[in-house]
């Protein structure tokens, strides 16, 4: 899916465009670099051990390049708070990141414990968790729901 997204945007129409990705320097950037290295020429810009930008170019002619920048340098907050600040219709959801592993991708059962929501605890308390509890929780269904809310 990620490679298809880049195939769709690294076209002559978008040559020299800048694409903002939020918090690319601290999280998603590593995932992006790994995937993009197989198909594109990559030039990362790093400062103080943080990924600031990535230039992504097509390997063949014509030369087409886009620049990925970290929007956290412009909007220094998490997506959940930014969504609230800008009053967007769809807010970033919460997800039990620490629950996911290669052995439970097809998990269906009781809700993952509150402790698995560690990255969201500043913005997601136990009362919020209790509202989300379902009698049957599906990794696949909840993953798709979360991705729709990003």
> What residue spans define the domains of the chain?
2-73, 79-148
CATH class held by domain 2-73: alpha beta
Instruction: Give the residue carrying structure tokens 């620049």.
Output: 67
pLDDT digits (tens, 9 = 90+) for 19-52: 998 888 876 777 788 888 888 999 998 888 888 8
For strand 18-21 and strand 65-70, is the pairing parallel, antiparallel, or unpaired? parallel
Instruction: Tell which residue, 112, 109, 116, 113, has the closest CA to residue 138.
Output: 109
* pLDDT band per the 50, 70, 90 thresholds, residue 112: very high
Specify the 3-state DSSP secondary structure of 88.
Answer: coil
pLDDT digits (tens, 9 = 90+) for 44-102: 988 888 888 999 998 777 889 999 999 988 998 888 788 888 998 877 778 888 899 98
Q: Would you say 41 and 90 are in contact if contact means Cβ atoms under 8 Å apart?
A: no
User: Under the phi-then-psi rule, with left for phi > 0, alpha for psi from -120 to 50, and beta for the rest, what region is 16?
Assistant: left
Strand partners of residue 45: 53
Rounded to the nearest 10°, the torsion over CA 13, 66, 20, 53 is -170
* pLDDT band per the 50, 70, 90 thresholds, residue 110: very high
47-58 burial, b for 16+ CB within 10 Å, e for fewer? eeeebbbbebbb
């Amino acid at each position: 899916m990620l490679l298809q997204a880049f195939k769709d945007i690294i076209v002559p129409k978008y040559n020299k465009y800048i694409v903002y990705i939020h918090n690319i320097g601290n999280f998603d950037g590593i995932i992006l670099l790994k995937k993009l290295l197989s198909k594109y020429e990559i030039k990362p810009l790093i400062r103080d051990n943080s990924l600031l930008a990535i230039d992504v170019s097509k390997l063949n002619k014509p030369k087409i390049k886009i620049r990925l920048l970290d929007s956290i340098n412009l909007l220094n907050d998490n997506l959940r708070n930014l969504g609230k600040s800008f009053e967007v219709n769809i807010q970033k959801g919460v997800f039990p990141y620490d629950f996911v592993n290669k052995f439970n991708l097809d998990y269906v059962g009781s809700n993952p414990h509150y402790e698995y929501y560690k990255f969201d605890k500043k913005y997601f308390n136990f009362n919020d968790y209790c509202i989300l509890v379902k009698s049957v929780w599906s990794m696949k269904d909840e993953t798709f729901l979360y991705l729709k809310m990003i």
